[in-house]
A and B are shown apart, each in its own frame.
Chain A
Amino acid sequence: MFESLSDRLNETFGRLSRKGRLTEKDVDEAMREVRRALLEADVNFKVTKDFVAAVRERAVGQDVLGSLTPGQTAIGIVNEELIKVLGTDRVPLMNPDRPPQILMLVGLQGSGKTTHAAKLAVHLRKEGRNPLLVAGDVYRPAAVNQLQALGRQINVPVYEEGTTKNPVDIAANSVKFARERGFNPVIVDTAGRLQIDERMMQELVDVKDKINPTEILLVADAMTGQEAVGVAETFHERLGVTGLILTKMDGDARGGAALSIRAVTGVPIKFIGTGEKVDALEPFYPERLASRILGMGDIVSLVERAQEQTDEQEAQRLQDRLMKGQFDLEDFLDQLQKIKKMGPLGQLLEMIPGLGSQMRQAKAQISDDDYKRLEGIIYSMTPHERRNPEIIGGSRRRRIARGSGTSNADVNQILSQFKQMQKMMGQFGAMAKKGKLPKNLPFEF
């Protein structure tokens, strides 16, 4: 959708010959692009301004190293500065002086508090803990049921007192309950609220004063726009937020909100929510978010999507077959379907870093219809033919072409392409055995 910053910077610097040093004028031009990229990624206006000023100062007079283009040099500086703001160290959850550890989740409506309460419970139980979930959202219809349903699903007990009691009392009672029964941590869900709703904000302050939570985690949607700063500032001011959970990162929002919140409040990002499943919670990696904000592709997400579709054993089996040159059309079809499940080809290509403008053109030439035709041809073969494509002669070929609504030539083309591929795979296999496989596949920014 948006052109990536790396593309744009390379464009900006493209017409300059390689120079030994970034001049003030080069930098000014580049900073305009940086500013735009950050704003398009929803980084707050004021945060962007400060950030650009910091980068600018570092960039002027910077030496362009031998193998790098000026664009790459600038991107490198921006990337480093981003990581600096996002926080380089991973900050774990704090421990209380006296158990139980109490985690209180707060945020706007629809940011994902209830789901993330359950995710945290799953995550902490994996560490051998004995969590208790607390249904503190008495306002939203069926919020208590939602937490209960999640609790049943993950087999974690849920403390609730229905929807008629006061959330402050519910929270206090839940902590008492946890102490008596030995639950630790206590994860308190709260109702979503607008930061300008004074009565509701006061309620959170009251809950906080009553139970003295170990952590107050602000749950924020990665898609949030410029208001992220106002929201985070108010929650932080009133409650003293200790950590941030950034949700819905499995989408394609650039997630600039995280940078803004972090820059303004200084609160560390503790977790990233990456899906609707209860185990879709990850520790925060600043490098990944930085390259995402810059639109430099997201190879990690691509790999993750691929992993969603294959299990490890199967992948190993496939790799073995590939290496031995036993890869047949059945395997090929299987792979084709997995790729299809990952999303439209165009979208997948967009996630590969460094595939700039050339790839965008190539994308137009590979259509999802090509897939379909290919699939149709393979489907029109018998399983025996798929496993032994060499037996396909004139009459079989005619049948396959008719069955798939294609021509003999189409079938031939697929078969010869497949043969070539098989041969290449075989060679790869042989090379790998001799240890000659190229080590690094050439991805570059």
Chain B
Amino acid sequence: MVFSRLFRRRAEPDIQLEQGLEKTRRGVFSEITRLFDRSSIDEELYEDLEMLLIQADVGWDVSQKLVSDLRGRVDRDRISDPADAREVLRIEMIELLELATRNRKVKILQRGTPFVIMVVGVNGVGKTTSIAKIAAYHKRFGRQVLLAAGDTFRAAAIDQLKVWGERLDAPVISHQQGADPGAVVFDAMEAAHNRNYDVLIVDTAGRLHTKFNLMEELKKIRRIMQRHVPEAPQEVLLVIDATTGQNGLVHAKKFAESVEITDIMIAKLDGTAKGGIAFSVAKELGTPISYVGTGEKATDMAEFKPETYVDSLFFGVGEGL
């Protein structure tokens, strides 16, 4: 994949993901595997499968589609061994998620031009922690990273980013709480340019996608970035909480409409949530899902890989097989 060639990673990502997801593995995944551990394919299998998918937040529409596609294949190809059916389902699910990786764009870091990453999302999804992870990730390549405290609304959001900045040895450009985020971004862009930073990561205040004015503010921040660097922000990262239900798709759509999301990160996959929303997002939006967050540490992040995602969250490979 072109993406991974540019953002080559030193640590072994799959190992990280699987460790992070270990806790998650106690839920639906092995249940799906167990579900196929029977002598024949019957109606009950399909019903239970639909239930398990819905319980994983895959959503009604996508669950229906997965189940009916599986049923179609089983009938057409006269599949009688449940283990074969399981494999069909597994591949179906992986292919669905691949809709969210094939649009990944090549990211080019140019010397002398800061690579600007704007991080957005609704309140409480884990934006600041995700910023720390992205920062640590770029740091590992020896890139100079600058952070911008664009969340001037939430109490102590600036302090929170500063704590991470100190831990990661990345300077933070900030103003007072209540300041205009546009002004912070303006200063950060100047600083990134003048001091030759490779990567600038901009935090923004959490906002519900229904708040029209706040969504407009994001557009303004974007325009300010473009005054300095026309192609900025080269990455607009939407963070989605893995525990989010079907509203996740609604808010992903609304964010995509107003700020042209380039990448999505599914955060908090270390819980019991299966992050099933990734399937609807892949099917309906096609915006690339690029990263997954798997814990509270700056290193708890991995590249999003459909196969790993499906296997570790739904099939619990290596377990119950």
> Chain A interface (Cβ within 8 Å of chain B)?
1-2, 36, 39-42, 44-45, 108-112, 114-115, 139-143, 145-150, 153, 194-196, 221, 223-228, 230-231, 248, 250-254, 256-257, 276, 341-344, 347
Q: Is the CB of A252 within 8 A of B250?
A: yes
Q: Is the CB of A251 within 8 A of B163?
A: no
Complex: A333 Cα to B62 Cα, angstroms: 45
Enumerate chain A residues within 8 angstroms of B164, measured Cβ to Cβ: 141
Q: What 9 A-B pairs are tightest by C-beta distance, nearest first?
A: A225-B245, A110-B124, A42-B245, A146-B156, A141-B163, A149-B155, A142-B159, A142-B160, A253-B247
With A226-B245, A250-B210 given, is the CB distance from A221 to B55 under 8 Å?
A: no
With A110-B241, A226-B54, A344-B212 given, is the CB distance from A251 to B159 under 8 Å?
A: no
Q: Is the CB of B245 within 8 A of A146?
A: no
Complex: A148 Cα to B156 Cα, angstroms: 9
Interchain residue pairs with CB less than 8 A apart (16): A2-B246, A45-B51, A109-B296, A141-B160, A142-B159, A145-B155, A145-B160, A149-B155, A194-B271, A195-B272, A223-B251, A226-B276, A227-B57, A228-B243, A228-B245, A231-B243
Q: Which of B155, B243, B248 contacts A146 (CB 8 A)?
A: B155
Q: Is the CB of A109 within 8 A of B126?
A: yes
Q: Does B208 contact A (CB under 8 A)?
A: yes
- The bracket for how many chain B residues form the interface is 35 or more
Q: Which of B60, B211, B268 contacts A109 (CB 8 A)?
A: B268
Q: Is the CB of A40 within 8 A of B159?
A: no
Residue of B nearest to A38 (CB): B60
With A109-B124, A146-B160, A226-B54 given, is the CB distance from A196 to B271 under 8 Å?
A: yes
B124, B211, B276: most-surrounded residue (chain A CB, <10 A): B124
B43-79: CB near A (< 8 Å → 1, else 0) gives: 0000000010011110110000000000000000000
B99-132: CB near A (< 8 Å → 1, else 0) gives: 0000000000000000000000011111010000
With A221-B124, A251-B209 given, is the CB distance from A227 to B160 under 8 Å?
A: no
Q: Is the CB of B163 within 8 A of A230?
A: no
Enumerate chain A residues within 8 angstroms of B246, measured Cβ to Cβ: 2, 40-42, 225, 254
Q: Which of B55, B122, B250 contacts A248 (CB 8 A)?
A: B122
Complex: A109 Cα to B269 Cα, angstroms: 12
Enumerate chain B residues within 8 angstroms of A225, measured Cβ to Cβ: 57, 243-246, 248, 273, 276-277
Residue of A nearest to B247 (CB): A253
Given A39-B54, A108-B271, A251-B208, 15 more pairs with CB closer than 8 A: A1-B249, A36-B60, A39-B59, A40-B60, A45-B51, A109-B126, A110-B124, A146-B160, A147-B156, A221-B241, A225-B273, A226-B245, A248-B123, A341-B213, A343-B212
CB distance from B316 to the nearest CB of A (A): 16
CB distance from A71 to the nearest CB of B (A): 20
Q: Which of A1, A110, A141 contacts B159 (CB 8 A)?
A: A141
With A141-B159, A341-B212 given, is the CB distance from A40 to B122 under 8 Å?
A: no
Residue of B nearest to A348 (CB): B212
Enumerate chain A residues within 8 angstroms of B211, measured Cβ to Cβ: 250
CB distance from B20 to the nearest CB of A (A): 12
Complex: A252 Cα to B244 Cα, angstroms: 13
Q: Is the CB of A194 within 8 A of B270?
A: yes
Q: Does B153 contact A (CB under 8 A)?
A: yes
Complex: A44 Cα to B277 Cα, angstroms: 15
Residue of B nearest to A221 (CB): B124
Q: Is the CB of A230 within 8 A of B247?
A: no
Enumerate chain B residues within 8 angstroms of A148, measured Cβ to Cβ: 156
Residue of B nearest to A43 (CB): B245
Q: Is the CB of B212 within 8 A of A224?
A: no
Enumerate chain B residues within 8 angstroms of A226, measured Cβ to Cβ: 54-57, 245, 276
Enumerate chain A residues within 8 angstroms of B128, measured Cβ to Cβ: 141
CB distance from A95 to the nearest CB of B (A): 30
CB distance from A238 to the nearest CB of B (A): 15
Enumerate chain B residues within 8 angstroms of A44, measured Cβ to Cβ: 55
Q: Is the CB of B245 within 8 A of A224?
A: yes
Q: Does B154 contact A (CB under 8 A)?
A: yes
Enumerate chain A residues within 8 angstroms of B251, measured Cβ to Cβ: 223, 251
Q: Is the CB of B154 within 8 A of A146?
A: yes
Q: Is the CB of A227 within 8 A of B212?
A: no
Complex: A225 Cα to B280 Cα, angstroms: 13
Complex: A221 Cα to B272 Cα, angstroms: 16
Enumerate chain A residues within 8 angstroms of B126, measured Cβ to Cβ: 109-110
With A39-B60, A226-B245 given, is the CB distance from A276 to B123 under 8 Å?
A: yes
Enumerate chain B residues within 8 angstroms of A114, measured Cβ to Cβ: 155
Enumerate chain A residues within 8 angstroms of B122, measured Cβ to Cβ: 223, 248, 251
Complex: A283 Cα to B100 Cα, angstroms: 41
A41, A145, A254, A344: most-surrounded residue (chain B CB, <10 A): A145
Enumerate chain A residues within 8 angstroms of B195, measured Cβ to Cβ: none
Residue of A nearest to B277 (CB): A225
Within 8 A of A (CB), among B246-276: 246-251, 253, 268, 270-273, 276
Within 8 A of A (CB), among B157-209: 157, 159-160, 162-164, 177, 208-209
CB distance from B204 to the nearest CB of A (A): 14
Q: Which of A45, A140, A251 contacts B55 (CB 8 A)?
A: A45
Q: Is the CB of B56 within 8 A of A251?
A: no
B51, B155, B247: most-surrounded residue (chain A CB, <10 A): B247
Q: Is the CB of B124 within 8 A of A145?
A: no
With A196-B272, A226-B54 given, is the CB distance from A112 to B160 under 8 Å?
A: no
Q: Does B227 contact A (CB under 8 A)?
A: no
Complex: A290 Cα to B159 Cα, angstroms: 39
Residue of A nearest to B27 (CB): A230
Enumerate chain B residues within 8 angstroms of A343, measured Cβ to Cβ: 210, 212
Residue of A nearest to B249 (CB): A1
A40, A223, A253: most-surrounded residue (chain B CB, <10 A): A223
Q: Does B228 contact A (CB under 8 A)?
A: no
With A110-B125, A248-B122 given, is the CB distance from A145 to B245 under 8 Å?
A: no
Enumerate chain B residues within 8 angstroms of A142, measured Cβ to Cβ: 156-157, 159-160, 162-163
CB distance from B106 to the nearest CB of A (A): 32
Residue of B nearest to A41 (CB): B246
Complex: A111 Cα to B122 Cα, angstroms: 11
Complex: A42 Cα to B128 Cα, angstroms: 26
Q: Which of B153, B155, B244 contacts A223 (CB 8 A)?
A: B244
Complex: A108 Cα to B244 Cα, angstroms: 12
Q: Is the CB of A150 within 8 A of B247?
A: no
Residue of B nearest to A48 (CB): B54
With A146-B154, A251-B122 given, is the CB distance from A256 to B245 under 8 Å?
A: yes
Residue of B nearest to A194 (CB): B271
Q: Does B143 contact A (CB under 8 A)?
A: no
Complex: A282 Cα to B157 Cα, angstroms: 25
